[in-house]
Structure 1
Amino acid sequence: MAKRNNLLIFILTIGVFGILNTEMGVIGLLPSIADHFDVSISKAGWLVSSFALAVAVSGPILPLLFSGINRKTVMLLVLGVFVLGNIVSIFTSNFTIALVARVIPAFLHPVYCSLAFTVAAASVSKEEAPTAVSKIFIGVSAGMVIGVPIASFIASATFLQMAMVFFAVVNIIVFIATFLFVPSMPVEERLSYGAQLSILTRSVTWLSIAAIILLNSAVLGVYSYLAEYLKTVTNMSLNAISLMLFIYGGANIIGNVVSGKLLANNAIKSILSFPFVLGVVYILLFLFGQFSVPMAIITLIWGILAGIGANMNQYLMMSSAPEAPDFANGLFLSSCNIGTTIGAAVGGLFISEMGTPYVVLVGFLSLLLSFATILLRNYMFKPTRQLSG
């Protein structure tokens, strides 16, 4: 049983990597895509922004609609759509078709990811659930951070379409592995749509959503401008910046592993102390960000904390509505996207008005508000519910 569960979680982790890789991998390909389709770089950017918008819109809706269908069937459907989208992207020479081939799978992105979190948690005991979910987050981190340089390297070493082939191959492998090794998983205790939607009537749900938006804004609002910070403040070369991004990504994966143990052992203290620890890192970033060696150390610690924070966000949402996991995970994904959008926008505002070093202010402001929100959430549901909802 343990071996089967480990295999299942491994397949889900690679599946999440494939889907996030499809989403984020094109970021490093935008100049090549603009040349290939003979469009401006800003228009090529629609391939990124339209995907993110589709995820944000479908996050609370489609996981709810698919919540009563056999989970294996849903996984195969989503993976199949991603494979088809990847194949169309390889062969099309029309930008509009390429855009449609990305947007349609994007709507199903939250369905697979929410299922991955739900199935991983359900495959182990309640005490081991945070650790199982943290393994899925390794796939999320790898897809978001490692997929970008891999796709860029493939495109530069060969040509653009081979990077698209890489996206397709990963999803095809996961589709085959899911078909062969994942057992049928019918939904035995299906909640009605009304029962699932009823979690929106709870204040704990909305406090959790607010906390996730603020925590994600605190991390991604600053991280979105890391490359710019390293270029203009630390004065690093492009190769050094790429290395720093790799350090951040690898540290993010370490954070995912660490977070599972932290949440399993003492979730409340870990989540309440997180804003303070990250706040200290941002103070160090502001004071020593112009020096290369301290900046490398700061980036390593920051990356670890970012991985921990992502897991804490998912824990906050899931512990608020454990009886409706698919819908709750959909809300989690949408909240993260909203937090990233707000954080990046506010961070950009601080940079334009005050300069690049002051992007940390979006982090401080978000952390302050997130701590107040988490404290209120914990206070309102004491002593029996606390962070567990």
Structure 2
Amino acid sequence: MNTAPQSSTPAYSLFAVIFALAIGGFGIGTTEFVAMGLIQEISTDLQIDLAQAGHFISAYALGVVVGAPLIAIFAAKVPRKRLLILLMLFYALANLATAYATTASHVLISRFIAGFPHGAYFGIAALVAAELAGPHKRATAIAQIMLGLTIATVLGVPLATWLGQQFGWRAGFQFSASIAVITLFAIAYAVPNIPLRASASIQTELAGLKNLNMWLSLAVGAIGFGGMFAVYSYASPILTEYTKVGIEMVPIALAVFGSGMVLGGLTAGYLADRHLKATIIGILIHASLIFVITSFMMANLYTALLALFLIGFSVIGLGGALQTHLMDVAGEAQTLAASLNHSAFNFANAIGAFLGGWVIQQHYGWTAPMWVGVVLSLAGLMIFLFALWVEKRQA
């Protein structure tokens, strides 16, 4: 058993805490990505085209962008364990609303609402894990929390996609709601009651809005992470229309993509605990090169699977590394910054899905989303280098 640094924090098992929080990440990851895996089934059932179905992906992402800062600010005085439980309850209900929506408009609204607790959950979960793990293992602990999201791409999304293909796309969202309910009980059992910082308030969180370094760090994720979503959002039609494989191969391909994300996330967490800023730079350079290489690998099933693995491996570590970096630059606005990080990533989700769909609609080819990834990764790199320059000047 471990004990928290503060004597008022009860004894806890760090493994159990991370496992419980990762279950929530698994549920959120399944929900976020399952719409991408079922995009063809959803568009067919609701009688809309693929680009319109892609708006459901963007709606969820924009819900995260809106919900994360609002929850972080107005729930600043709510104990973190209680808030995590409430967020999972809301998430379960929102996914049920999607599952039982009857029109495209209702799905769009429910997906937007379902995005609200996403950023706040991951942000607060990351702060809890980092505090309990200590300063020298915080990036690894955060990466392990995020592992729930990446495992979702290996197991949750393929399973939910399969359920959606076999029993109708709504079954995928019912599955996600059930995971949220399981998370409620896991958090209630495993996560200790952590005392709030004495300075925690709406005012201290709002003060973070004036922090230039925080905004620049968030911009890195908002842009640099978008390439992964430009590809992942349209992986299903790319595989069926360009690689010419059957729809039954899509869940397997998504699992391969997710396997790369699992390995990439753990590797990046290990490196970030040792060389944080260099890890962020390395991820963005590596991602831009991988997008170029994989644009020539999608014509054959086996090279396409390798390409998806490499994309997942190269990009995903940016999330945990930037989450850790934000803890260093956010000052007293820790909850706001941690939550906004996931708003930034879901802005990347929205812009990536939009640009990926746009280049396909403009007939640039099914591999054009990879080149969107090149541009966005390099743009994220430029922003981070500028952020480091600003930080150095302010020191």
Q: Match for residue 369 of structure 2? A: 359
What do residues 281-335 of structure 1 show as CA deviations (whole Å, max 9, x unaligned)?
1222233433443333332222111222222332343332153221002211111
Whether 1:230 aligns to 2:213 is no
8 Å contact from structure 1 (residues 220, 340) kept in 2:
yes
> Cα distance 1:114–1:93, how it changes in 2: closer, same or farther (>3 A)?
closer
After superposition, where does 1:71-110 map in structure 2 within 5 Å? 71-86=80-95, 92=100, 94-95=102-103, 103-110=112-119
Q: Distance in 2 between matches of 1:20 and 1:152?
A: 13
> Cα distance 1:15–1:357, how it changes in 2: closer, same or farther (>3 A)?
closer
8 Å contact from structure 1 (residues 196, 327) kept in 2:
yes
Residue 380 of structure 1: which of 363, 367, 390 is its match? 390
> Cα distance 1:363–1:28, how it changes in 2: closer, same or farther (>3 A)?
closer
> Cα distance 1:250–1:71, how it changes in 2: closer, same or farther (>3 A)?
same
Question: Once structures 1 and 2 are overlaid, which stretch shifts more, 300-309 or 223-232?
Answer: 223-232
Q: Match for residue 6 of structure 2? A: none
After superposition, where does 1:158-169 map in structure 2 within 5 Å? 158=167, 163-169=172-178
Distance apart, 1:123 and its partner CA: 1.0
After superposition, where does 1:258-297 map in structure 2 within 5 Å? 258-297=267-306
8 Å contact from structure 2 (residues 36, 57) kept in 1:
yes
Q: Match for residue 15 of structure 1? A: 24
Distance apart, 1:263 and its partner CA: 0.2
Distance apart, 1:67 and its partner CA: 1.9
Residue 53 of structure 1: which of 50, 62, 67 is its match? 62
Q: Distance in 2 between matches of 1:161 and 1:21?
A: 13
Q: Distance in 2 between matches of 1:84 and 1:355?
A: 39
What do residues 331-360 of structure 1 show as CA deviations (whole Å, max 9, x unaligned)?
111111222222333333333253223333
Distance apart, 1:68 and its partner CA: 1.4
8 Å contact from structure 2 (residues 205, 333) kept in 1:
yes
Q: Distance in 1 between matches of 2:366 and 2:252?
A: 20
> Cα distance 1:86–1:208, how it changes in 2: closer, same or farther (>3 A)?
closer
8 Å contact from structure 1 (residues 350, 361) kept in 2:
no
Q: Distance in 2 between matches of 1:213 and 1:179?
A: 32
What do residues 115-160 of structure 1 show as CA deviations (whole Å, max 9, x unaligned)?
1111111111111000000011111223356433212323444566
Q: Match for residue 206 of structure 1? A: 215
Q: Distance in 2 between matches of 1:276 and 1:98?
A: 37
Segments of structure 2 that go 5 or more residues without pairing to the other structure are: 3-11
Partner of 1:356, secondary structure, is coil
Whether 1:40 aligns to 2:47 is yes
Q: Distance in 2 between matches of 1:55 and 1:112?
A: 10
Partner of 1:187, secondary structure, is coil
What do residues 351-372 of structure 1 show as CA deviations (whole Å, max 9, x unaligned)?
3253223333222222222222
8 Å contact from structure 2 (residues 64, 118) kept in 1:
yes
8 Å contact from structure 1 (residues 146, 246) kept in 2:
yes
> Cα distance 1:241–1:162, how it changes in 2: closer, same or farther (>3 A)?
closer
Q: Distance in 2 between matches of 1:370 and 1:98?
A: 32
Whether 1:6 aligns to 2:15 is yes
**Alignment-mate amino acid for residue 92 of structure 2:** V
Question: Once structures 1 and 2 are overlaid, which stretch shifts more, 24-33 or 188-197?
Answer: 24-33
Q: Match for residue 5 of structure 2? A: none
Percent identity between matched residues is 25
Partner of 2:13, secondary structure, is helix
After superposition, where does 1:24-39 map in structure 2 within 5 Å? 24-29=33-38, 39=46
Q: Match for residue 336 of structure 1? A: 345
Q: Distance in 1 between matches of 2:342 and 2:121?
A: 11
**Alignment-mate amino acid for residue 132 of structure 1:** A
> Cα distance 1:285–1:119, how it changes in 2: closer, same or farther (>3 A)?
same
Distance apart, 1:191 and its partner CA: 2.9
Q: Distance in 1 between matches of 2:367 and 2:113?
A: 38
Whether 1:369 aligns to 2:379 is yes
> Cα distance 1:341–1:66, how it changes in 2: closer, same or farther (>3 A)?
same
What do residues 184-210 of structure 1 show as CA deviations (whole Å, max 9, x unaligned)?
233132333233222232321222122
Q: Distance in 2 between matches of 1:284 and 1:139?
A: 28
> Cα distance 1:232–1:316, how it changes in 2: closer, same or farther (>3 A)?
farther
Q: Distance in 2 between matches of 1:58 and 1:289?
A: 36
> Cα distance 1:204–1:47, how it changes in 2: closer, same or farther (>3 A)?
closer
Segments of structure 1 that go 5 or more residues without pairing to the other structure are: none
8 Å contact from structure 2 (residues 280, 322) kept in 1:
no
> Cα distance 1:297–1:342, how it changes in 2: closer, same or farther (>3 A)?
same
Residue 253 of structure 2: which of 237, 244, 247 is its match? 244
Residue 310 of structure 1: which of 313, 319, 331 is its match? 319
8 Å contact from structure 1 (residues 16, 116) kept in 2:
no
TM-score, length basis structure 2: 0.84
